[in-house]
Structure 1
Amino acid sequence: MGKIENNKLLLASVLGFIGLVINLYPIHLFANIQLILGNVSYVIAAILLGPWYALYTAIITVTGLMMVWDSPHVYFLFGVEALCLGFARRSHLYALYASFGFWLFIGMPLFYLYIFLFTDLPSSHIAFVILKQGINGLVYACIGSLLIILIPSFWHFKNKLKDAPRRTFNAQLTYTFTLVITVALLLAALLFNNQFIERQQALLYQNIENSADHLGLSTQAYLNSHTQAIKNAAAWLSLNQYAEVEEQILLSQLHTHYPGFITMLLADKQGTVISASPASLLSSLESQPEFDIRDRSYFVEAFINQRHFTSPVFLGKGFGQDPIVAISAPIYRPDTPHQPIGIIEGSLDLQEFKAIDHVNTGSHSQSIVLIDKNRRVIYASDNLDITPLSEFSYSVPSKNYITPFPMLNIAHSDNMAPEYVYASVKLENDWQLFVLNPFRPLVELVEGMYLATFAILFVALSITIYISHVISGRLTLPLENIANKFSTTPQGPHSEYAVDEESPQEIYTLFQRLQQSKSQLIGYQLELEEKVALRTLELERANNKLQALAEKDPLTGLYNRRYAENKFPAIQELCQRSDEVIAIALLDLDKFKFINDTYGHDGGDLTLKRVAELLSQEFKRDSDIIVRYGGEEFLLIMPLCNALKIEGHLESFRQKLQETGIELETDKVQFQVTASIGAVIGNGSFNASLDEWVKQADINLYQAKNSGRNQLVFTTLEDS
């Protein structure tokens, strides 16, 4: 990995946090199918910045998915995708083509291995989930690529990855067409699929609810009719007194009219069964002389609490071992209307509910479960393989399955995918009826739609690439031919061909105008070359003048401060390398303001010129540099000087300046000027900065001024 650049790292971080926020809110499509768009961030990072910044962006981005899905595989899968897109970009492959190849050959197989090894998703769902993720990957790859094309700031990002070979206009146009059509096809397909699926879901659940309402009414009517039969029989027996033989006959006749009862019986106040239907049941009681029903809930409720009663489901005994539901009512005598003399009871045949199940016209795939208030199964459709009397237990599928209707699992309670969609109704006696519809057929429908989407996309991409290539070729070939025709390089035997009658009007017009302008351009070129040669000569002369103005003081003709600063590093390096000394002297004219005030600025300017002339005469070695340092200050740089004689040389100059007369020609006035000098000498290794040397010389100059002016203070510097 190359050196980390701050601006790239900042862009990768910003993209990552934007992607994280977007991934916190995936777009729900169907069940556990969600469209994730935050991954657009690392697609952009891969295209602009390369694989390692893309990986960094991907880690930040998919953290949002980790918060939502709680599935660590997102770091590995999408991290590998970010690296592949980044390396593909370095190899100058377009992101969409790289994404298609990644999901086809790497992403889908990796996703399959993860689901197969680390999740309990049913095998029937795996192909669907993998296919959905591949389509989602193409969606955000297209969107990321389009955003880079449509946002100009990304075009001009100076540190972005650039193509080593320049791409042809044909390739760029083909890719742009492919992106636009792919995004349009994918989004249209997803939108259509989503609307169709939502419609199917609504119709499915409406059908289930209608079935639940219909079956609930049928079951309630079945219970009501049999409850009413028991109540009517109890009332009839209470109004009329019959002998036991007559009661047996009446009970058998009643049972004949209500075959929904598997058995019926009459019991006295001691709970002893005195009549039963079928009558053959009485013979079985002879072997059980102590058999009574005093402990049965249906006897207690009817005889003790004196009310008709529908029991929960229970396992019969005495008259058989079948699960039954008992309906009972008290029997009175006209002379004891408030004291029951016994009960009448009918045991419902639970298999009769099968007739209600078969009456369900909603769907042949629907099943029913009827439970009592204790949640024990009264009846369940045969295909559910649920035994009566068992407790009806089910589990709710994973929270990732977001649907507008309730779902449950019966056979596989730990399965993350739902088995059934259901609706339920509650009956008047607190029984509950569930209508179940398998969820798998709806999933298969969605799988087929997504598979068709993927196939259509593949065909559409192939056609789009071909058509785009042909159309862009129609545009770019004439332009290429025009470029060849007007090129100064020979193009072979076909160089004269440019455009034909099939070329677009705009290109043909361009060709004509270029032909008309070619001869004019040749003439302009010759004229321009002549003018350029002339202007070049003038420019060289002007540059020489500018160079002199930039390096010299116009008044004194001495070098200026900038020249000294530019020249000193080379001088210092030479002296350091050859172990030679450098002397620096800072000279300041004494009471120069007095001269200006007394003799005017002409007198001040004349003084500066005379001092400059005297300096040039005294310090005239080729290596000496005399600088007007500013105002009335002068700087002497004297490399490779004689350390024993330089102080005497400076003192000699000071005295000579003191004795020199300066005469104003206009006023015939003569005056003298003196100077204070601060000088230092040291090895070239003292310091590479001219400012440090001048600073030391300035300290000596300050001392010379304070000591009465017109003095030289000279010291030797020691290496720091």
Structure 2
Amino acid sequence: MLKVSQQHLKLSALLGLIGLLINLYPIPLFGNVQLVLGNLFFVIVAILLGPWYALLCAAISSIGLIVSWSSIHVFLFFCAEAMWLGFTRRKDIYALYADIGFWLIIGMPLFYLYATNFSELPQSHLSFITLKQGINGFICAALGSLAVTVFSGFWYLKNKVRDKKRRTFHAQLTYSFTLVLTISLLSSALVFNHQVILKQQESLNQNLHDSAVHLGQATEVFLDTHKKAISNASQWLSLSQTDISGWQERLTKLHESYSDFISMIVTDSDARIIAATPLELLGSEKVKNKSFSVKDRHYFQEAFYKQQTFVSPAFWGRGFGTDPIVAISAPIYNGSDSVQAAGIIEGSLNLTSFVDIEQKNLVYEMQSMILIDENERIIYASKSLALPVLSKFESVESGKDYKTSLQLINLYNLNNPNPEFVYTNYQLNNGWKLYIVKPFSPLLKLLETQYLTTFTVLLLSLIITVIVTRVISTRLTDPLTMIANKFGDKGHKNAAAYHIDEESPQEFLTLYQSIKKSKQELISYQLELEEKVAIRTFELEKANKKLQSLAEKDDLTGLFNRRSAESRFKTTHNLCLRSDEVMVIAILDIDNFKAINDTFGHQGGDQCLRAIAKSMKLFFKRDSDVISRYGGEEFLLILPMTNPDMVEDHLNEFRLQIKRLVINPPNEETEIMMTVSIGAIVANANYSKLLEDWFRQADLNLYQAKNQGRDKVIVTKPPAPSDFNI
């Protein structure tokens, strides 16, 4: 029967709660892929306490993932993993090796089956997500094992799980190398893969943008060219003196010049067709008898009544056929009447012409084009998308929970949260919109390949590590025995004379003899070493003093930094307190410093900071004055033993000096003029022994100076507290 230890139970629950908190915030990698680190705590519990406590820890820590992922599958998988690690630990199997076995044999196959049957993940995502689960498990197992190894003194627990047999040196060395190698390789691979994916996203965004611009501009040029052709043709026909019966010939010649029009017509003022091409498709009798009317068509109404060149939305043609078309129309006038239109000329664009535009301008692989009109109807879509022309364009933004800079969209399964395409769009001048889309799955395939490569390299590295570390351990132990035997001249006889236990290994006995014989030489070396250490210690002390000096100064201005100023306040305050002297704490702040940075850049701002620092050193030049850069554009002055009646004039004199200061920033023609606001407090040293109290009053005065229009000095002289106690 399992005996429950309260100590083990509390530790398991505590580590489970820590894991729960960490699992509430998984680390996003790419898309909806996240790295989970809270599981390393049940790995620690499995190694130290066995399967049942590991199960408790895993159950608690999995709650964090259930909350963040809204999926209960993690409870099943991670509890099974914890139990597996706990039972294999009792078999003296290292946790990392056991975890690799779990995910290869049980974890990844089961997760793949679960995701296939019970999740909405598309098939293209499954391999990558499954592989990521395994790699996540390896990272947690390696980190947990390393924590147990490195902090072995921390895990002092009664009745914890122990090895049944003492492990060999080469086994321990191999496992240590494997842990370090696994963590290093997987961590670097994650960072590298993350950087690669970021670059891929940037490149893909740029490629999509370039394609959208090229195709959008090419489409606009195509439409403008044919729009201009119709407009010019309307002017040409309006100025023509030829009888209407002669327009048929002119229209036929015009159509020959613009083959992208599938058909062209001319109507009279009653919207009846009086000329058409190709004539054989409509029928010459219909044209001759004026029996075909287009009065109900938008392209007639817009061109005839509004008297403008009009590009229609896409619609189904009639008369010449039932092809989807876009009509471009313009009014025609009689030569003598330029006010009232006499009819229209119209050309029906062949939408298959957009295939040529796509092929000429779409240079990147796997990208597709969708062109929609102002009514959200599809004018053209790449063949690979299989979107019917003139159908309603339906799409939905997807991947809202994905960590990516890409714009993601679904065109088919609108309710699926997993994205189908990456996209960008381009707004045409006439209100049409052009989409460039690329399948999202190739990005996952790329990441899957990278992870698979990492996984393969990891397995190969582990095999090589086992072989190499065995060789290294043999090379360490065998020469040690040989050297010990070589320097031991009495062998292992009379072990008690050397204070060595009879059961100790021969190598230790022989090595002890050798060390004893070399004792005098070691003493001599020790004295020499101590002399060298003394010299080095002296040099180190000098270097430390120099480093301490550097640590007290601000790199940019050369003034004391904040920490140094706070330290020197205590010394200065004690000096003034003993001599019952007055001291001043002043805060100086550059007015509108952000505007200086925005106008002249950070180099200009840095030049202003250095200039003020130089002026402060020259103006406040007593040895006892403490001048420091307290943070950003704020400076702190500590002025001991000061005449209280002269403080405000003294600070105003410095304020005016800064106001007159002219700074010429590099590569700029404009000079920088700046002002400062100063808030100060002057009081006897027994006002307060805390810098915070002095600083608070000076800061209030600075705030008041800023509110009164800046470029001011405000000094207060609070009464010293009568009950101050040192």
Is 1:285–1:318's contact at 8 Å kept on the other side of the alignment? no
Distance 1:9 1:155, change over 3 A: closer
Give the AA of the match of 2:53.
Y
User: How far apart, in 2, do the equivalents of 1:203 and 1:379 lie?
Assistant: 26
* Mean CA deviation greater in 54-63 or 464-473: 464-473
| Aligned residue number for residue 14 of structure 2 | 14
| Aligned residue number for residue 197 of structure 2 | 197
Once the two structures are superposed, what CA deviation does each residue of 1:666-718 show, in whole Å capped at 9, x if it has no partner?
Answer: xxxxxxxxxxxxxxxxxxxxxxxxxxxxxxxxxxxxxxxxxxxxxxxxxxxxx
The 3-state SS of whatever aligns with 1:270 is coil
Give the AA of the match of 1:393.
E
Is 2:275–2:287's contact at 8 Å kept on the other side of the alignment? no
What's the CA shift for 1:305? 2.2
Is 2:317–2:323's contact at 8 Å kept on the other side of the alignment? yes
Q: How high is the sequence identity, in percent, across the aligned residues?
A: 47
Give the AA of the match of 1:453.
T
| Aligned residue number for residue 59 of structure 2 | 59
Give the AA of the match of 2:84.
C
| Aligned residue number for residue 350 of structure 1 | 351
| Aligned residue number for residue 468 of structure 2 | 467
The 3-state SS of whatever aligns with 2:247 is helix
Is 1:327–1:347's contact at 8 Å kept on the other side of the alignment? yes
User: How far apart, in 1, do the equivalents of 2:178 and 2:22 lie?
Assistant: 26
| Aligned residue number for residue 322 of structure 1 | 323
User: How far apart, in 1, do the equivalents of 2:285 and 2:77 lie?
Assistant: 72
User: How far apart, in 1, do the equivalents of 2:125 and 2:516 lie?
Assistant: 63
| Aligned residue number for residue 421 of structure 1 | 422
What's the CA shift for 1:466? 2.3
* TM-score after normalising by structure 2: 0.65
User: How far apart, in 1, do the equivalents of 2:503 and 2:39 lie?
Assistant: 50
| Aligned residue number for residue 331 of structure 1 | 332
- 1:275 matched to 2:275? The reply is yes
What's the CA shift for 1:152? 5.0
| Aligned residue number for residue 549 of structure 2 | none
Is 1:208–1:362's contact at 8 Å kept on the other side of the alignment? no
User: How far apart, in 2, do the equivalents of 1:267 and 1:286 lie?
Assistant: 10
**Aligned residue runs from structure 1 range 637-676, under 5 A:** none
Once the two structures are superposed, what CA deviation does each residue of 1:31-56 show, in whole Å capped at 9, x if it has no partner?
Answer: 33222112112112212222222222
- 1:434 matched to 2:435? The reply is yes
Residue of 496, 512, 515 corresponding to 2:514: 512
User: How far apart, in 2, do the equivalents of 1:478 and 1:195 lie?
Assistant: 46
Distance 1:309 1:479, change over 3 A: same
What's the CA shift for 1:514? 5.8
User: How far apart, in 2, do the equivalents of 1:361 and 1:307 lie?
Assistant: 33
Distance 1:344 1:155, change over 3 A: same
Distance 1:255 1:106, change over 3 A: same
| Aligned residue number for residue 72 of structure 1 | 72
Is 2:43–2:144's contact at 8 Å kept on the other side of the alignment? yes
User: How far apart, in 2, do the equivalents of 1:288 and 1:57 lie?
Assistant: 91
What's the CA shift for 1:7? 2.9
The 3-state SS of whatever aligns with 1:332 is strand
| Aligned residue number for residue 684 of structure 1 | none
Give the AA of the match of 2:344.
I
| Aligned residue number for residue 528 of structure 1 | none
| Aligned residue number for residue 360 of structure 2 | 359
Is 2:31–2:399's contact at 8 Å kept on the other side of the alignment? no
User: How far apart, in 2, do the equivalents of 1:511 and 1:466 lie?
Assistant: 34
User: How far apart, in 2, do the equivalents of 1:237 and 1:287 lie?
Assistant: 19
Distance 1:275 1:289, change over 3 A: closer
| Aligned residue number for residue 138 of structure 2 | 138
What's the CA shift for 1:344? 1.4
| Aligned residue number for residue 87 of structure 1 | 87
What's the CA shift for 1:315? 0.3
What's the CA shift for 1:99? 0.7
| Aligned residue number for residue 39 of structure 1 | 39
User: How far apart, in 2, do the equivalents of 1:408 and 1:288 lie?
Assistant: 52
What's the CA shift for 1:432? 1.1
Give the AA of the match of 1:270.
D
Once the two structures are superposed, what CA deviation does each residue of 1:406-438 show, in whole Å capped at 9, x if it has no partner?
Answer: 223334445555333222111011111112223
Is 1:210–1:362's contact at 8 Å kept on the other side of the alignment? no
| Aligned residue number for residue 527 of structure 2 | none
What's the CA shift for 1:103? 0.8
The 3-state SS of whatever aligns with 1:106 is helix
Distance 1:457 1:326, change over 3 A: same
What's the CA shift for 1:349? 0.7
Once the two structures are superposed, what CA deviation does each residue of 1:516-572 show, in whole Å capped at 9, x if it has no partner?
Answer: 89xxxxxxxxxxxxxxxxxxxxxxxxxxxxxxxxxxxxxxxxxxxxxxxxxxxxxxx
Is 1:251–1:277's contact at 8 Å kept on the other side of the alignment? yes
What's the CA shift for 1:334? 4.8
What's the CA shift for 1:234? 1.8
User: How far apart, in 2, do the equivalents of 1:515 and 1:168 lie?
Assistant: 30
Is 2:265–2:347's contact at 8 Å kept on the other side of the alignment? yes
What's the CA shift for 1:236? 2.7
What's the CA shift for 1:476? 4.7
Give the AA of the match of 1:109.
P
User: How far apart, in 2, do the equivalents of 1:510 and 1:408 lie?
Assistant: 75
Distance 1:210 1:451, change over 3 A: same
| Aligned residue number for residue 207 of structure 1 | 207
The 3-state SS of whatever aligns with 2:195 is helix
User: How far apart, in 2, do the equivalents of 1:368 and 1:398 lie?
Assistant: 21
| Aligned residue number for residue 390 of structure 1 | 391
Distance 1:20 1:513, change over 3 A: same
Give the AA of the match of 2:352.
Q
> Please, which runs of 5 or more residues in structure 1 have no aligned partner?
500-506, 518-720
Once the two structures are superposed, what CA deviation does each residue of 1:149-170 show, in whole Å capped at 9, x if it has no partner?
Answer: 2235533244533334333444
| Aligned residue number for residue 245 of structure 1 | 245
User: How far apart, in 1, do the equivalents of 2:184 and 2:354 lie?
Assistant: 53
Distance 1:480 1:67, change over 3 A: farther
The 3-state SS of whatever aligns with 2:352 is helix
Is 2:215–2:362's contact at 8 Å kept on the other side of the alignment? no
The 3-state SS of whatever aligns with 1:324 is strand
What's the CA shift for 1:111? 0.8
User: How far apart, in 2, do the equivalents of 1:90 and 1:175 lie?
Assistant: 17
Give the AA of the match of 1:252.
T
User: How far apart, in 1, do the equivalents of 2:516 and 2:158 lie?
Assistant: 34
Give the AA of the match of 2:135.
I
The 3-state SS of whatever aligns with 1:294 is coil
User: How far apart, in 2, do the equivalents of 1:34 and 1:515 lie?
Assistant: 61
Is 1:170–1:476's contact at 8 Å kept on the other side of the alignment? no
